[in-house]
């Protein structure tokens, strides 16, 4: 590209539409999650149900992993994303009608949660694969960072808004959520059509497994995705935040809310910075350094007995995680041919989901065995060890200089 002025991104109309759609869908999901949790707990009063609903939402990502990527590669990605958003709007509408008629049940919530997870399992790889086709290659890393700023903004604001609206009744959350999803659907349908030919192959086992084979054949991609899996799996401490808030930092629910928001605040600030000043050189070293900082921040949080220091450390943790995520997402998409992006994104999405879900389980299990503080400290140490091992296992990734080495070499 002749110019990579960051100002060009904000004037790129297809990306603005994509960014707004991300804002609306992320906000809709966050609000819906808050309302479903409160609604379910009011119905049953069972804490276990809150954990089960999250597991039910995650299950479709495992069940449909191979098919979600194939759909994203074979069909018009705009329409696939729009269909997924329309289905989520219908789920919110069903809950709104159920609230109006006082007919929402535990079983109904679990069924709708499964459908919600199914829609999102198809939507995520589709939208990830869609982004490279609507922005110039030179602006793609900034576009990834800007798209993440939309996600983080929604993560910070939407749950609070959902909780505020729920005070007036669940219908006041479900109703606006329907509108958010429908607006996102319209924005998706107005994006430019895909320029590369669609993959017309049938959904054979060979084609479904092509994404896994592709990742295995690219050491840099495999290294980046697996590094994120194990770093978050070991270093994630969010599941233990209520224990830290109550028993170690001696704060109340308001403090827990701030602790939960702190990583998202750090991630948002860093995503805004990266949207303007992207990492251009030594991307491998920067990514591994960011993961190392993530591990150190985890250890510091585990050892801290000061609320404000813990808050600051979590902001740093979120910022470091955002750096590695943007670098990983950018070069993984750029290194993947367009006809494979859906299947590769589906595998990547499963890794991300597994690291978050299993990371919470790992944190709870190690806290039960060794205690809360040792569990978090050991997790941070584990992240640092994984970083060192991965530098040895994937030397080309550690020494990677540019985000788009393959593209540049093809031009020479």
Mean pLDDT of 195-221: 68
Q: How high is the pLDDT of residue 375? A: 83
Helix spans in 45-133 (H): 47-63, 65-74, 77-100, 106-130
Tokens 């989520």 locate to 88
Structure tokens, 80: 């696939």
Structure tokens, 299: 């250890």
Q: Greater confidence, 145 or 316?
A: 316
The per-residue pLDDT of the chain, averaged, comes to 80
Contact 311, 342 (CB under 8 A): no
Q: What H or E segment, with its residue span, contains residue 197?
A: none
Q: Greater confidence, 296 or 75?
A: 296
- The DSSP code for 191 is S
Q: How high is the pLDDT of residue 5? A: 44
**Most confident by average pLDDT, 68-72, 321-325, 334-338:** 321-325
Say if residue 352's pLDDT is above 60: yes
Least confident piece of the model among 39-43, 88-92, 95-99, 187-191: 39-43
CB-facing half-sphere around the CA of 218: CA atoms within 13 A = 22
- The string of pLDDT tens digits covering residues 128-149 is 888 878 877 777 778 888 887 8
Domains and their CATH numbers in the chain = 9-199 (1.20.1250.20), 204-405 (1.20.1250.20)
Q: How high is the pLDDT of residue 321? A: 86
**Distance separating alpha carbons of residues 203 and 395, to the nearest angstrom:** 35
Say if residue 2's pLDDT is above 60: no
The pLDDT-based confidence of 271 (bands split at 50, 70, 90) is confident
Say if residue 358's pLDDT is above 80: no
Q: Greater confidence, 310 or 364?
A: 310
- The string of pLDDT tens digits covering residues 147-164 is 878 887 887 788 778 877
Contacts of 308 (CB under 8 A, 6+ apart): none
- The string of pLDDT tens digits covering residues 61-97 is 878 877 887 787 788 888 999 999 999 999 999 999 9
The pLDDT-based confidence of 198 (bands split at 50, 70, 90) is low
Contacts of 75 (CB under 8 A, 6+ apart): 198
The pLDDT-based confidence of 209 (bands split at 50, 70, 90) is confident
- The string of pLDDT tens digits covering residues 280-290 is 778 888 889 99
Say if residue 6's pLDDT is above 60: no
- The DSSP code for 194 is P
**Distance separating alpha carbons of residues 325 and 147, to the nearest angstrom:** 12
Q: How high is the pLDDT of residue 38? A: 79
**Distance separating alpha carbons of residues 261 and 101, to the nearest angstrom:** 34
Q: How high is the pLDDT of residue 203? A: 58
The pLDDT-based confidence of 315 (bands split at 50, 70, 90) is very high
**Distance separating alpha carbons of residues 156 and 171, to the nearest angstrom:** 22
* DSSP string for 219-235: HHHHHHHHHHHHHHHHH
Percent of the chain past pLDDT 90, that is, above it, reads: 20
Least confident piece of the model among 96-100, 305-309, 397-401: 397-401
- The string of pLDDT tens digits covering residues 107-127 is 999 999 999 989 988 888 888
Least confident piece of the model among 39-48, 242-251, 354-363, 387-396: 354-363
Query: Please, what is the Cα angle at 14 between 16 and 32, to 5 degrees?
Result: 55
Q: Greater confidence, 114 or 221?
A: 114
Mean pLDDT of 386-409: 76
């Amino acid at each position: 590209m002749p110019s990579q002025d960051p100002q060009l991104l904000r004037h790129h109309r297809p990306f603005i539409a994509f960014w707004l759609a991300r804002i609306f869908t992320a906000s809709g999901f966050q609000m819906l999650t808050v309302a479903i949790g409160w609604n379910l707990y009011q119905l049953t009063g069972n804490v276990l149900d809150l954990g089960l609903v999250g597991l039910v939402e995650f299950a479709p990502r495992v069940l449909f992993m191979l098919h979600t990527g194939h759909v994203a590669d074979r069909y018009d990605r705009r329409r696939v994303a729009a269909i997924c958003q329309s289905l989520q709007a219908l789920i919110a509408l069903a809950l709104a009608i159920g609230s109006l008629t006082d007919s929402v049940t535990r079983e109904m919530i679990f069924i709708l949660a499964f459908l919600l997870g199914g829609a999102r399992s198809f939507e995520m790889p589709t939208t990830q694969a869609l982004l490279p086709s609507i922005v110039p290659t030179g602006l793609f890393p900034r576009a990834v960072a800007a798209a993440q700023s939309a996600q983080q903004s929604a993560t910070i604001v939407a749950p609070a808004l959902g909780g505020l609206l729920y005070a007036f009744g669940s219908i006041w959350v479900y109703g606006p959520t329907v509108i958010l999803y429908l607006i996102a659907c319209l924005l998706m349908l107005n994006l430019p059509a895909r320029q590369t030919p669609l993959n017309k192959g049938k959904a054979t086992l060979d084609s479904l497994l092509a994404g896994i084979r592709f990742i295995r054949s690219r050491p840099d991609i495999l290294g980046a995705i697996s590094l994120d899996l194990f770093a978050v799996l070991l270093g994630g401490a969010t599941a233990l935040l209520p224990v830290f808030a109550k028993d170690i930092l001696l704060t109340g629910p308001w403090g827990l809310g701030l602790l939960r928001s702190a990583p998202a605040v750090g991630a948002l600030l860093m995503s805004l910075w990266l949207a303007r000043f992207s990492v251009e050189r030594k991307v491998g070293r920067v990514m591994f350094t960011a993961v190392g900082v993530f591990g150190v921040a985890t250890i510091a949080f585990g050892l801290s007995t000061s609320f404000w220091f813990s808050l600051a450390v979590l902001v740093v943790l979120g910022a470091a995680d955002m750096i590695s995520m943007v670098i990983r997402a950018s070069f993984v998409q750029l290194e993947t041919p367009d006809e494979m992006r859906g299947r590769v994104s589906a595998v990547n999405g499963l890794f991300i989901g597994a690291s978050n879900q299993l990371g919470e389980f790992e944190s709870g299990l190690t806290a039960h065995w060794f205690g809360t503080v040792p569990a978090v400290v050991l997790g941070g140490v584990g992240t640092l060890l994984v970083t060192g091992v991965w530098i040895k296992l994937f030397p080309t990734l550690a020494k990677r200089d540019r985000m788009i080495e393959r593209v540049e070499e093809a031009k020479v």
